[in-house]
Structure 1
Amino acid sequence: MEIDIDFMKEQIPLFVDSALLTLKIACFAIIISLFIASINGLILFFRIRIIHKVVRAYVEVARNTPLLIQLFFLYFGLPSLGIKLSNFSIALLAMCFLGGGYMTEVIRSGLDSISKSQVESGYAIGLNKWQLFRFVVLPQAATISAPALFANFIFLLKETSIVSAIAIPELLYTTTNLISIYYKTSEMLIMLTASYIFLFVPLSFLLSWLERRNRYGQFGH
């Protein structure tokens, strides 16, 4: 099997554009999902009436349904309700729905991991509920939750490949489109793999570095 290197070189600009779009979707999804999860985590931690149950229901739906189903539900369902969004907006909405559900559970677990004895000790020295959360619960919960949150960042970046189902020209869509036009399957799969490696390896190193700093900070090193 002969690999057409020249053809691969010609497609580099197209793959760069697709990689940047993939990264754009992932970054927006991570930031918005983290914001959603932070709000939901606080609602679950403080057990706010009624809203608490709504958030729990959202988390269960988000975590127990595939992204593709969520994507199609929005893609075909919203227009029937008279809501018209761009494919990019629908893809981002689905990614945030999924990511928000997973990260909510991570943050909730981190907040709930703080022992009752620490909470009682905080109240004993005169801290109010907000001070207790700010100075006792939040710093420890952030440290505990960080590794799982970082794993979710990687997870969301990988899930961007699913949005190719609604013709978002990210990496997988670009690859399958070029294969269907030029029948250069091996070349395009090599380009796809290389593109994901260029995206994932730096991000993995960055998150590993942040996790080490977070861990060392926890133990005072």
Structure 2
Amino acid sequence: MRALSSHRERHVTDRIGWLRAAVLGANDGIVSTASLIIGVAAAGGQVAAIVIAGTAGLVAGAMSMAAGEYVSVSAQADTETAELARERRELTDDPRGELAELAALYAARGVDDATAETVAAQLMAKDALGAHARDELDITPGARARPVQAAFASAASFTVGAALPLLTVFVVPSTSLVRAVAAGSLLFLAVLGAVGAKTGAAVVWRGLVRVTFWGAFAMAVTALIGRLIGGAV
């Protein structure tokens, strides 16, 4: 019997957890901090007030992103753990029923009954819990929830993203601050969208346009509100 030749492929599903958190954090850092700076500047705030507001937004946002990611991803991880524990008990209490259940899943996908039962038996002989986790619960090792990783990725990426528009305040004249922060932030967002799409093996232009559009919309709304409030007070 001829041995099966190995065919190695590179997939990006193992990046899903940290990539989502990193892109979300960096995008939120750029958009929220740039919008905050533009809003305060449009309201007539002095440079010192803008720097304080931007710095406070950076620190508070990074902590909020870390806490929010940790809590939400922990809830997902707890659910996955509970489901795996339940499946482990069922495999102990009713192995034949679990075998039939797994075979039925393969049969529903188009495999004939005899082959489905054979495949299910072989997979369960090697790793019963892994087979059920993957094919019944849709839980794979590369996509498992990692709360600490997600929290650190979100906080770090938010800090980097927020630092970009904040640093712009120190290098441009106050008279052109709003335009410079807006233009720089849109450039950063475009790069972020392209890099995120490229890392995730998605369409680059689509990720770029999506991120840039919503960033521009958020900054425009904040600038408008800042001008209205600044004129009112």
Normalised-by-shorter TM-score class:
0.3 to 0.5
Which structure would you say has the larger Rg? 2
Q: TM-score normalised to the size of structure 1?
A: 0.34
TM-score (norm 2): 0.32
Q: Which has the higher contact order (CA 8 A, sep 6+)?
A: 2
